[in-house]
């Protein structure tokens, strides 16, 4: 047996392991092939920057007329955005009343911001969201409180995109949960129905669901009742998303160990209490990433309403640059629209990461 009598001195790590040089060595130049890769990537980045920066920034035309943009040597024509912004954001909404959708979007963003602050979570926030729905209805339709009525046939742009995706998400979420539970239930009839629904909807492209919704939904209503285009599209999205969410939720349900069900049973909890209090809270927490993935898809998929003639954000931008003098600057317009989509999707993604982290910190698992 040996006994250590003197302790080894505490030393600083070797210089090559710390600081910027250490980091470079450890991460970018730690082998011959990595060094080559680093240099190639670096060269590529430089190439892209020197190609894009002059066009997008240095030579760009920020304000002005199409003439200014067509001047020789002119870069990106951001002026088109300023010129067409109102139409892109609000579509055919009555021009003088466009402060209303703007206010509605502002309210929405405010609430989204508030929802990101964990401290504010509670009953009040839920009521604020419920109130938001009414505020939107009042602002968008008007017809009360001295606001002039604006038919929803005229709605368009960003409010339409936001509304369709939020409503689809909020309505499809509980439907998806019920479908997932149905698919795993012991009752053959309920299970069969849920499986049929999910597989049918998942088996067809969203475009055809939208077409079917616009053609078939009127058939389910008595003659004379007209279900308008917007509502039909909304129903189509909701049906589609709910089938996908059902599968996402089912994956979560399957990941919950049998012991959790048994412990709940042994305590005498009934089916619904067991699901609501024990199984779903754990299952839904597990599937936050794929769930948000579906939400993001839906948000972007709303642009498909173009095929049934609704003017969502993307379609509004497209129509806006149809104006002959600006026609050649559609790239700038699409970049602008892409940035708006990106901002929303990125927020959702970040929000879900935060949520995941907070929830796992709480239970320290």
Partner 1 sequence: MTPQRQARREQLAAAPINIEVSHVHKWYGEFHVLRDVNLAVSKGERIVICGPSGSGKSTLIRCINRLEEHQKGNIIVDGTELTNDVKNIEVIRREVGMVFQSFNLFPHLTVLENCTLAPIWVKKLPKKEAEAIAMKYLERVRIPDQALKYPGQLSGGQQQRVAIARSLCMSPKIMLFDEPTSALDPEMVKEVLDVMISLAEDGMTMLCVTHEMGFAKSVADRVIFMDRGEIIEQNVPDEFFNNPQSERTKLFLSQILNH
Q: Which residues make up the interface to partner 1 (CB under 8 A)?
A: 257, 259-260, 262-263, 265-270, 273, 277-278, 281-282, 285, 362-365
Least distance (Å) between residue 362 CB and partner 1: 7
Q: Which is nearer to partner 1, 172 or 253 (CB)?
A: 253
Q: Which is nearer to partner 1, 56 or 256 (CB)?
A: 256
Least distance (Å) between residue 256 CB and partner 1: 10
Residue 56, classed as helix, strand or coil, is helix
What lies within 8 Å, CB to CB, of 168 at 6+ separation is: 234, 237, 238, 241, 298, 302
Least distance (Å) between residue 285 CB and partner 1: 7
Q: Which is nearer to partner 1, 113 or 270 (CB)?
A: 270
Q: Which is nearer to partner 1, 107 or 256 (CB)?
A: 256
Q: Label residues 79-92 b or e (16+ Cβ within 10 Å = b).
A: bbbebbebbbbbbe
The number of angstroms, rounded, from the C-alpha of 28 to the middle of its chain's C-alpha atoms is 34
Phi and psi at residue 42, in whole multiples of 5°? -60, -45
Q: Which is nearer to partner 1, 257 or 324 (CB)?
A: 257
Least distance (Å) between residue 249 CB and partner 1: 16
The number of angstroms, rounded, from the C-alpha of 239 to the middle of its chain's C-alpha atoms is 17
Q: Which is nearer to partner 1, 160 or 278 (CB)?
A: 278
Least distance (Å) between residue 360 CB and partner 1: 10
Q: Which is nearer to partner 1, 147 or 256 (CB)?
A: 256
Output DSSP code: residue 146. T
The string of DSSP codes covering 157-223 is HHHHHHHHHHHHHHHHHHHHHHHHHHHTSS-HHHHHHHHHHHHHHHTS-HHHHHHHHHHHGGGGS-T
Phi and psi at residue 30, in whole multiples of 5°? -85, -5
Least distance (Å) between residue 275 CB and partner 1: 12
Q: Measured between alpha carbons, how far apart are the two ends of the chain, in Å?
A: 41
Residues 232, 213 contacting (CB under 8 angstroms):
yes
Q: Which is nearer to partner 1, 222 or 259 (CB)?
A: 259
Residues 87, 316 contacting (CB under 8 angstroms):
yes
Least distance (Å) between residue 363 CB and partner 1: 4
Least distance (Å) between residue 185 CB and partner 1: 15
């Amino acid at each position: 047996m040996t006994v250590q009598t003197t302790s080894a001195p505490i030393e600083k790590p070797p210089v090559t392991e710390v600081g910027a040089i250490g980091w470079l060595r450890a991460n970018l130049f730690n082998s011959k092939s990595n060094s080559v890769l680093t240099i190639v990537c670096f060269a590529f980045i430089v190439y892209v920057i020197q190609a894009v920066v002059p066009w997008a920034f240095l030579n760009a035309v920020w304000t002005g007329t199409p003439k200014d943009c067509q001047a020789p040597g002119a870069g990106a024509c951001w002026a088109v955005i300023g010129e067409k912004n109102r139409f892109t954001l609000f579509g055919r909404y009555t021009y003088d009343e466009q402060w209303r959708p703007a206010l509605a979007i502002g309210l929405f963003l405010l609430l989204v911001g508030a929802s990101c602050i964990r401290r504010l979570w509670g009953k009040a926030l839920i009521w604020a969201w419920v109130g938001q729905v009414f505020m939107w209805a009042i602002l968008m339709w008007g017809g009360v409180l001295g606001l002039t009525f604006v038919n929803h046939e005229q709605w368009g742009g960003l409010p339409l995109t936001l509304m369709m995706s939020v409503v689809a998400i909020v309505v499809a979420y509980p439907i998806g949960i019920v479908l997932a539970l149905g698919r795993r239930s012991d009752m053959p009839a309920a299970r069969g129905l849920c499986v049929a629904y999910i597989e049918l909807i998942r088996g067809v492209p969203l475009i055809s669901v939208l077409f079917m919704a616009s053609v078939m939904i009127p058939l389910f209503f008595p003659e004379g009742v007209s279900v308008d285009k917007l509502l039909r599209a909304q129903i189509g999205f909701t049906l589609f998303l709910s089938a996908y969410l059902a599968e996402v939720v089912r994956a979560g349900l399957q990941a919950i160990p049998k012991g959790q069900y048994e412990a709940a049973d042994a305590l005498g909890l009934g089916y619904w209490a067991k699901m609501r209090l024990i199984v779903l809270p754990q299952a839904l927490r597990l599937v936050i990433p794929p769930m948000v993935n579906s939400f993001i898809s839906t948000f972007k998929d709303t642009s498909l309403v173009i095929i049934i003639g609704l003017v969502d954000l993307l379609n509004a931008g497209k129509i806006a640059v149809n104006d002959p003098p600006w026609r050649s600057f559609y790239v700038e317009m699409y970049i602008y629209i892409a940035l708006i989509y990106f901002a929303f999707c990125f927020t959702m993604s970040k929000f879900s990461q935060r949520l995941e982290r907070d929830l796992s910190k709480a239970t320290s698992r």
